[in-house]
Chains A and B, each alone.
Chain A
Amino acid sequence: MATLNVNGQVRTVDVPDTHPLLWVLRERLELLGTKFGCGIGQCGSCTVLVDGQAMRSCQLTVAQVGSSEITTIEGISEHGSHPVQQAWIEEQVPQCGYCQSGQIVSAVALLERIPEPTDEDIDRVMSGNVCRCGVYDAIRRAIHRAAEMRFEATVSDAGQGGAP
């Protein structure tokens, strides 16, 4: 039995401690946006946020995750409204789309850490996510665009008096 904190909800699942988080998400919690790609932490398709850090869910057991806050693609925003998702739409990033949940989650984590990343920052941080359709140019553009949108949102919030 494991108790997990996924997308802001506490969920209890009947699996052994050694069960990989990826398959708990997919098969027990029906959160299908997180994908299986390689099973050895090489491709990034299964990336989720664990306490805000991008991690490979195929390489994490439920015991290792414990009560950490897990965010999957489904928890990034309610209806695709996160700046990274909006930028992904503006730049029309996805092709087959299979790696994109992992790419977006990695990009969200990147922008939390480096709000205005350079191309070199993007290349370094995003190199753990493989895209077989080769949309890398579009990912670079979209991350820069998302950074702008986050900045614009901050400025606009400040203009309206900012957060309480």
Chain B
Amino acid sequence: MTAGARGPVDPAAGGGVSRRTFVKIGVITGAGLTLGVAWRLTRGPGLPPTDAVFAPDAYLRIDPDGSITVVVDRSEMGQGVSTALPQLVAEELDVAWAQVDFVFAPAHGAYGSRGMQVTGGSTSVAESWEPLRRAGATARWMLREAAARQWGLPADQLETREGAVVAPDGQMLTYGELAQAAAGLDVPEDVPLKDPETFRLIGRSVPRLDVPAKVTGQAVFGIDAGPADARIAVVARCPVFGGTVRSYDPSAALAVDGVEEVVPISSGIAVVARGFVEAKAGRDALVVEWDEGADPLLDDAAISDRLRGVLGEGRTVRDDGDVEAALSVASADLEASYSLPYLAHATMEPMNCTAWVRDGRCTVWAPTQFQNAPSLVGGGARQVAADAAGVDDADVHTTFLGGGFGRRAERDFVREAAEIAGKVEGPIKVIWTREDDMQHDFYRPASVHELSARLGPDGAPEVWDHRMASQSILERFVPGWLPDVAADFAGRRDPTSTEGASNHPYHVPNARMTYAKVDLPVPVGFWRSVGHTHTGFVVESFVDELAHLAGADPYAYRRQLLEEHPRHRAVLDAVAEAAGWGDEPPEGRARGIAVVESFGSFVAEVAEVSASNGRPRVHRVWCAVDCGTVVNPRIVEAQMRSGIVYGLTAALYGEINIREGRAVQSNFHDYLMLRINEAPRIEVVLVPSGDPPGGVGEPGTPPIAPAVANALFALTGQRIRDLPLRLG
């Protein structure tokens, strides 16, 4: 079993880095050495003294046996980063894939980008594309130089392959044999990168490094991590959003066999026991009187009224041409109102975190997407854990994540564990029940949209007016941030709410969008593809409506309006061809199409549906994706399938209702998951493009809901404008 596959192995016990822009950290113990590269060398405060083999800035470690370990600074939640990032290093390093292993990075300023160590926005490969290839190339250069000196030959006469330097006469030295000598060399700057034409690993579907551990039950997730003797905490939280504890009586909980302590924390009351069953029984027995806050009667109808009441107000986030003038000449041809519900993330692994406070430091084992952000309000897991535990600093061991989807960019579960650990002896693992997880999520915001449009004589839209209202994720995530962001965007838009609509690509001379932000106590957060989860549905449904109004084929109509967007067009063409768009679908079925650009990638999808007894069924999906340069084709395809199933689950079933101030749904019996017997056959086409890598974790999701809704319209003539999709 590999170290990385076993989970939280921490390569960084300390710092000790010289201040250079590109530095070798390395160094030697009896066991091997580390060639490290760092771009930002701010040492984290309070790190223990240097142990050079485990230098914090190292992305790459070479052991004397020739094994290569890549330090992965993004969280593996299924999207394949623990394979794709090592692939970037291994390509430039010239090693065989079988030599490569990985470990997860500690929370440290040397990792991540833009001052944050966070996995989100489908940015991992795009942001690592240059630095990790450079890490591999620099190490390769140094290893080759070490061989050149040993042999007394010019370095440029030497080749590297499969983890060895080879001389013209065939003699060779492995990287393991050269590692120590290479570590003594100065680190070169600006080592050239390979010509993409010569790539041997990038662009190949090399096997995922995490799969062996995941088929044997050995992969360590958050719920499996940390000291085996950690006690378990289950937390009672106010079921009403925004509520707090008024009073509690621990006696009934403490009477439960196995319950050891009852601890008040900021999110509620924690019941600590020897095991989960005991802790949950204690939580069930606990008597708490809640202060249900300002809005204990909040429900769906009230939320809908609030959202609809402000439509048209707020900021103008797009204003092309003159919509008012255009609409004063003649009224709109089409007015449509769309609504989308709150959605839970429902990661398969419920929220959890393990924390232990010892000697003035907090250690956490966390399935987190957000390790470190020293300068951001609230910070990452490291800052939150230290703050909650009341200590100066924290160490974060990132585990495998049993799903993330944006939920694990939150720090609430880390705060709970660290806060309890700061108040009791020994390690504590907080485990959320599925009901806790579903009823205390940060939901995809509910939103309402009104659109109006008028077509020109050629059927193309002359006016497109979009009024939207929702809560703002951005403002909730970083309170007080929105004004800054608004300033950054010249007052234009809140991207987490309006992305994909404020900048939709269809050619319209008079286009306007207004966004009205509403404050409600329901917590909202980043949900796989964020703003595009609703704007993709609205824009792609609406353009389909316009196509119908114009009497045009929905594929041809989009194509015509996307003349200036060749990458949109290319994926539309590719998906239409794959699906046989012009061909008659099988009896009783119909097809719909949609195309969405998100996170730097372009995805078009066609869904083939039928309906029986008022229930839609999706039989097949075709997907064409241009995500720029493809690092690992099989992972890209898998992410498209994954995004489609995730989006389809939401389109068909997903809905968190609010009643009496709380979430109605609680578990998989009433928040339904798409299962294998409902899963469509999915065909994915990669559309080659030499552009830099875009994201793949999220972009598969936005087009599926509108593709299915558009297919249902083609099938039944019913235009469904509210999700989840229900046939009347």
Residues of A within 8 A of B (CB): 16, 19-20, 23, 26-28, 30-40, 42-43, 45, 72-74, 76-77, 79-80, 85, 88-89, 92-101, 104, 122-124, 126-140
A95's nearest neighbour on chain B, judged by CB, is B78
B221's nearest neighbour on chain A, judged by CB, is A98
The residues of B that contact A77 with a CB separation of less than 8 Å are 216
Give Cα distance in the complex from A138 to B645, angstroms.
13
B223's nearest neighbour on chain A, judged by CB, is A36
Cβ-defined contact, A96 with B78, below 8 A: yes
Known interface pairs A42-B669, A133-B78. Does A36 touch B216 (Cβ–Cβ under 8 Å)? Answer: no
Contact with A along B207-233 (1 / 0, CB 8 A): 110111111111111011000100010
Cβ-defined contact, A133 with B215, below 8 A: no
Give Cα distance in the complex from A117 to B643, angstroms.
27
Known interface pairs A88-B211, A130-B675. Does A27 touch B646 (Cβ–Cβ under 8 Å)? Answer: no
Known: A130-B675, A135-B638. 7 other contacts (CB 8 A): A23-B276, A32-B217, A38-B668, A42-B668, A89-B215, A128-B675, A134-B641
Cβ-defined contact, A36 with B431, below 8 A: yes
Cβ-defined contact, A95 with B350, below 8 A: no
- In the complex, whether B677 has a CB less than 8 A from a CB of chain A is yes
Known interface pairs A129-B676, A136-B679. Does A36 touch B350 (Cβ–Cβ under 8 Å)? Answer: yes
Cβ-defined contact, B642 with A98, below 8 A: no
- 5 A-B pairs with the lowest CB-CB distances in the bound complex, closest first: A33-B217, A134-B645, A98-B402, A95-B78, A96-B78
Cβ-defined contact, A134 with B674, below 8 A: yes
Cβ-defined contact, B641 with A33, below 8 A: no
Cβ-defined contact, B208 with A92, below 8 A: yes
Distance in Å from the Cβ of A18 to the closest Cβ of chain B? 9
Known interface pairs A97-B402, A98-B403, A135-B642. Does A92 touch B207 (Cβ–Cβ under 8 Å)? Answer: yes
The residues of B that contact A133 with a CB separation of less than 8 Å are 78, 348, 403, 642, 645-646
Q: Which of B644-677 contact A (CB under 8 A)?
A: 644-646, 649, 667-669, 673-677
Distance in Å from the Cβ of A67 to the closest Cβ of chain B? 22
Known interface pairs A23-B275, A130-B675, A138-B638. Does A33 touch B403 (Cβ–Cβ under 8 Å)? Answer: no
Cβ-defined contact, A85 with B669, below 8 A: no
Candidate in A26, A38, A40 with the most chain B CB atoms within 10 angstroms: A38
- The one of B634, B643, B669 in contact with A40, judged by C-beta atoms closer than 8 angstroms, is B669
Cβ-defined contact, A96 with B681, below 8 A: no
The residues of B that contact A134 with a CB separation of less than 8 Å are 641-646, 649, 674, 679
B1's nearest neighbour on chain A, judged by CB, is A79
Distance in Å from the Cβ of B82 to the closest Cβ of chain A? 11
- The one of A20, A35, A92, A127 in contact with B223, judged by C-beta atoms closer than 8 angstroms, is A35
Give Cα distance in the complex from A98 to B405, angstroms.
14
- In the complex, whether B400 has a CB less than 8 A from a CB of chain A is yes
Cβ-defined contact, A96 with B77, below 8 A: yes
Distance in Å from the Cβ of B49 to the closest Cβ of chain A? 33
- The one of B214, B275, B646 in contact with A94, judged by C-beta atoms closer than 8 angstroms, is B214
Residues of B within 8 A of A (CB): 76-80, 207-208, 210-221, 223-224, 228, 232, 257, 275-277, 346-350, 400-405, 431, 433-434, 634, 638, 641-646, 649, 667-669, 673-677, 679, 681-682
The residues of A that contact B673 with a CB separation of less than 8 Å are 43, 130, 132
Cβ-defined contact, A124 with B402, below 8 A: no
Known interface pairs A127-B676, A137-B679, A137-B682. Does A97 touch B219 (Cβ–Cβ under 8 Å)? Answer: yes
Known interface pairs A32-B224, A34-B217, A36-B431. Does A95 touch B676 (Cβ–Cβ under 8 Å)? Answer: no
Distance in Å from the Cβ of B668 to the closest Cβ of chain A? 4
Cβ-defined contact, A99 with B669, below 8 A: no
Cβ-defined contact, B431 with A94, below 8 A: no
Give Cα distance in the complex from A48 to B10, angstroms.
32
Give Cα distance in the complex from A42 to B668, angstroms.
6
A139's nearest neighbour on chain B, judged by CB, is B676
B76's nearest neighbour on chain A, judged by CB, is A96
B224's nearest neighbour on chain A, judged by CB, is A32
Give Cα distance in the complex from A18 to B405, angstroms.
35
Distance in Å from the Cβ of A162 to the closest Cβ of chain B? 28
The residues of A that contact B634 with a CB separation of less than 8 Å are 92
Give Cα distance in the complex from A140 to B214, angstroms.
17
Cβ-defined contact, B400 with A97, below 8 A: yes
Give Cα distance in the complex from A101 to B401, angstroms.
15
Give Cα distance in the complex from A134 to B684, angstroms.
14
The residues of A that contact B402 with a CB separation of less than 8 Å are 35, 96-98
Q: Can you spell out 13 A-B residue pairs with CB atoms less than 8 angstroms apart? A: A23-B275, A28-B275, A35-B348, A35-B349, A36-B276, A38-B667, A40-B669, A96-B347, A96-B349, A101-B217, A126-B676, A130-B673, A131-B348
B400's nearest neighbour on chain A, judged by CB, is A97
Give Cα distance in the complex from A77 to B218, angstroms.
12
The residues of B that contact A32 with a CB separation of less than 8 Å are 217, 220, 224
Cβ-defined contact, A40 with B434, below 8 A: yes
Distance in Å from the Cβ of B99 to the closest Cβ of chain A? 18
Distance in Å from the Cβ of B413 to the closest Cβ of chain A? 15
Cβ-defined contact, B210 with A37, below 8 A: no
Give Cα distance in the complex from A139 to B220, angstroms.
22
- The one of B79, B217, B405, B668 in contact with A72, judged by C-beta atoms closer than 8 angstroms, is B217
The residues of B that contact A129 with a CB separation of less than 8 Å are 675-676
Cβ-defined contact, B217 with A23, below 8 A: no
Give Cα distance in the complex from A97 to B223, angstroms.
13
Cβ-defined contact, B668 with A43, below 8 A: yes
Give Cα distance in the complex from A126 to B677, angstroms.
8
The residues of A that contact B401 with a CB separation of less than 8 Å are 96
The residues of B that contact A42 with a CB separation of less than 8 Å are 667-669
The residues of A that contact B644 with a CB separation of less than 8 Å are 134
Give Cα distance in the complex from A38 to B649, angstroms.
17
- The one of B216, B667, B677, B681 in contact with A137, judged by C-beta atoms closer than 8 angstroms, is B681
Give Cα distance in the complex from A124 to B677, angstroms.
6
Distance in Å from the Cβ of A112 to the closest Cβ of chain B? 18
B219's nearest neighbour on chain A, judged by CB, is A97
Candidate in A97, A104, A127 with the most chain B CB atoms within 10 angstroms: A97
The residues of B that contact A74 with a CB separation of less than 8 Å are 216-217
Cβ-defined contact, A97 with B681, below 8 A: no
Give Cα distance in the complex from A76 to B349, angstroms.
22
A33's nearest neighbour on chain B, judged by CB, is B217
Cβ-defined contact, A132 with B217, below 8 A: no
B274's nearest neighbour on chain A, judged by CB, is A27
Give Cα distance in the complex from A132 to B230, angstroms.
28
- The one of B346, B348, B682 in contact with A96, judged by C-beta atoms closer than 8 angstroms, is B348
B218's nearest neighbour on chain A, judged by CB, is A33
Known interface pairs A34-B217, A134-B641. Does A127 touch B675 (Cβ–Cβ under 8 Å)? Answer: yes
The residues of A that contact B642 with a CB separation of less than 8 Å are 95, 133-135
Give Cα distance in the complex from A74 to B646, angstroms.
29
A84's nearest neighbour on chain B, judged by CB, is B215
Cβ-defined contact, A96 with B400, below 8 A: yes
